[in-house]
A and B are shown apart, each in its own frame.
Chain A
């Protein structure tokens, strides 16, 4: 937990969000549509500040999936940032676009609904995420440790591209600190 708290302070080069940003850049993933999440805020802020990336909000997560799918076909790599509840809106687009058209859709999902969740709805929607991923046999990893983040993210992006298959990288509260009940 001390590690997580340290990471959310933001500026350290070895913060989780700094590692994610650098790993995206190293793999030439430059188009980053997102639907925001509190935990993702430092990552989103730093992506916006870095001109290497085209970072912007979309109204829905499936819209973002459509955008990075089109960009991939046009020769540009992207990744979608979202929260657990956003992933829950994606079953149709995964099954009808990303998987059958063999598109290396890279998803980063900030995990709500576990390890201190205070909203019952979030904890329920979280339980739908891995069954949906598993039902389509999609590659997914739940990242809990800072020392494993770079390896998992870097290898997963490369595997998605070379095997032309989607991947979901689930950022667990053990990594990010998560969102905690404040009152």
Chain B
């Protein structure tokens, strides 16, 4: 890990472990949007649920897609998992979400400071920017770093009880995803719509 990140008062966690902890907390068919690459690979590996949506491209759109789900189904809790590199592609989305204030949306950023999947190159933000400061500056007051796994679980509990959007940033290690999502976009979308109760299977 790089030196700068180590200077923060937060533990370096593991994406699969943190994702599994989130999934274990879900009881009410909450929707989960997994961003491109390792983020959704670990969501897949944590155990497929019909309420999971796995992205196979369109880097940076996990939060906007989750916002759309949250606006369509205001009574369902919606989680979005996104990598730091992906988020950097679409920082404007944070302000859109801050403006619309969906009360049922929780954003989780997996921050390892690198593009792990392409060869672990550092992101332009790695040594200079703070994701939570960016989120707060974008209007998302309810944004915080998870200090460790226990703190992450506490922040998830808080987010699930909150009446405004929440963002939880997690420092993670440089490990690749544990599984590999089955790359079948039509089935992914159709299963997700079944999971959200929008459609019945044929």
Q: Is the CB of A102 within 8 A of B56?
A: no
Q: Is the CB of B61 within 8 A of A62?
A: yes
Q: Is the CB of B92 within 8 A of A73?
A: no
Does any Cβ of A come within 8 Å of B67's Cβ?
yes
Residue on B nearest A100 in the bound complex, by CB? B185
Choose one: A60, A66, A71; the contact of B72 (CB below 8 Å). A71
Q: Is the CB of B69 within 8 A of A71?
A: yes
B contact residues around A71 at 8 Å (CB) = 68-69, 71-72
Q: Is the CB of A31 within 8 A of B71?
A: yes
Select the residue from A56, A63, A103 with max chain B CB neighbours within 10 A.
A63
What's the dominant secondary structure at chain B's contact region? helix
Does any Cβ of B come within 8 Å of A68's Cβ?
yes
- Cα–Cα, bound, A125→B123 (Å): 30
- Within 73-95 of A, Cβ neighbours of B (below 8 Å) are at 73-76, 78, 92-93, 95
Q: Is the CB of A74 within 8 A of B73?
A: yes
B contact residues around A72 at 8 Å (CB) = 68, 72
Does any Cβ of A come within 8 Å of B162's Cβ?
no
Q: Is the CB of A101 within 8 A of B189?
A: yes
Residue on A nearest B66 in the bound complex, by CB? A70
Does any Cβ of A come within 8 Å of B55's Cβ?
yes
- Cα–Cα, bound, A71→B73 (Å): 8
A contact residues around B92 at 8 Å (CB) = 58-60, 63
Cβ of A175 to closest chain B Cβ, rounded Å: 29
Q: Is the CB of B196 within 8 A of A67?
A: no
Residue on A nearest B95 in the bound complex, by CB? A59
Does any Cβ of B come within 8 Å of A9's Cβ?
no
Does any Cβ of B come within 8 Å of A97's Cβ?
yes
Choose one: B58, B76, B99; the contact of A66 (CB below 8 Å). B58
Q: List 20 A-B contacts (CB under 8 A).
A: A56-B99, A56-B100, A58-B93, A59-B90, A60-B92, A63-B61, A63-B93, A63-B96, A65-B64, A66-B67, A67-B64, A70-B68, A70-B72, A72-B68, A73-B196, A75-B72, A75-B196, A75-B198, A97-B55, A100-B185
Chain B residues in the interface with A (C-beta under 8 A): 31, 33, 53, 55-61, 63-73, 76, 90-93, 95-96, 99-100, 185-186, 188-189, 192-193, 196-198
Known interface pairs A56-B100, A58-B92, A59-B92; 11 further A-B residue pairs with C-beta atoms within 8 A, sorted by A's residue number:
A56-B99, A58-B96, A63-B96, A65-B61, A67-B67, A67-B68, A71-B71, A74-B68, A76-B73, A97-B55, A102-B185
Per CB-CB distance, the 7 closest pairs between chain A and chain B, nearest first, are: A59-B92, A96-B57, A70-B68, A74-B72, A66-B64, A76-B72, A66-B61
